[in-house]
């Protein structure tokens, strides 16, 4: 059974922390919608997983931004996944799932495809998703990481201050430009692989 739809969910933070490095996933997902082209609708607020979330539901790709705080995003992601299967009458094998998240270990704007089961490397958002959502082995699952660089200090408070700091214009331009193009390339690579499987 081949993948009929691809659900792409970005992790980040809401409210005052929306424009921070920790929300790099949201930033590139918004730009990705524009990269895909006219067939991908603009983001709009929709009721998903019993919360208001920004989503762009196209004929092939469903792009959703998790409205939950990063560290507890798992329950919402699990609800959104189950809801998407049910509302569209899909079997798990017919849905590809991609989680888009920030990555401290890569330079700003560097995009990597990661295996779903790969270590979370201390990323609390991924840890939360792994705790709430058991990946159905019949489905296709992957993560796309978005490099945000890393502060010089490796201590916990320094890292926390960095990921929750505002993204300056030049860094945002990198994420929206080469970052979103990299995410599009990664998504196309996954999609082609999943169509062939």
Average pLDDT, the chain: 93
- Per DSSP bridges, beta strands 140-147 and 51-57 are unpaired
pLDDT in tens, 45-64: 999 999 999 999 999 999 99
Phi, psi of 97 (to 5 degrees): -120, 130
The set of residues, in sequence order, having a beta carbon less than 8 Å from that of 89 and lying 6+ positions away, is none
For 140-192, the pLDDT digits (tens) are: 999 999 999 987 766 777 888 899 999 999 999 999 999 999 999 999 999 99
List the catalytic residues. 22
Q: How far is CA 102 from CA 51, 91, 194, in A?
A: 23, 29, 24
- Please tell me the pTM assigned to this model: 0.95
Decide: helix, strand or coil at residue 145. Answer: strand
Q: Are 92 and 136 in contact (CB under 8 A)?
A: yes
- Quick one: pLDDT at residue 1? 64
Rounded Cα distance, 28 and 21, in Å: 11
* CATH 3.30.70.20 is the classification of domain 5-196: no
- Average the pLDDT over 17-34 and give the result: 95
**C-alpha distance from residue 196 to each of 13, 54, 88, 97, 186 (Å):** 35, 30, 22, 16, 16
Please state the domain extents for the chain.
5-196
Question: Span 112-125, mean pLDDT?
Answer: 87
Instruction: Round to whole Å and give the CA distance between 86 and 126.
Output: 24
Q: How far is CA 135 from the centre of its chain?
A: 15
């Amino acid at each position: 059974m081949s993948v009929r739809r691809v659900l792409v969910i970005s992790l980040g933070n809401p409210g005052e922390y929306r424009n921070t490095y920790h929300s790099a996933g949201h930033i590139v997902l918004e730009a990705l919608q524009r990269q895909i082209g006219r067939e991908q609708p603009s983001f709009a607020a929709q009721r998903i997983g019993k919360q208001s979330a920004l989503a762009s539901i196209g004929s092939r790709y469903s792009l959703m931004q998790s409205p939950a705080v990063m560290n507890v995003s798992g329950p919402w992601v699990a609800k959104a996944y189950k809801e998407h299967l049910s509302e569209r009458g899909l079997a798990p094998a017919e849905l590809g799932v991609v989680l888009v998240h920030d990555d401290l270990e890569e330079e700003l704007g560097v995009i990597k495809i990661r295996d779903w089961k790969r270590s979370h490397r201390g990323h609390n958002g991924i840890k939360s998703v792994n705790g709430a959502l058991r990946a159905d082995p019949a489905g296709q699952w992957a993560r796309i990481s978005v490099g945000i660089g890393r502060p010089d200090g490796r201590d916990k408070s320094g890292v926390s201050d960095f990921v929750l700091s505002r993204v300056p214009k030049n860094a945002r331009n990198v994420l929206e430009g080469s970052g979103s193009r990299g995410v599009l390339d990664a998504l196309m690579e996954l999609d082609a692989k999943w169509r062939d499987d």
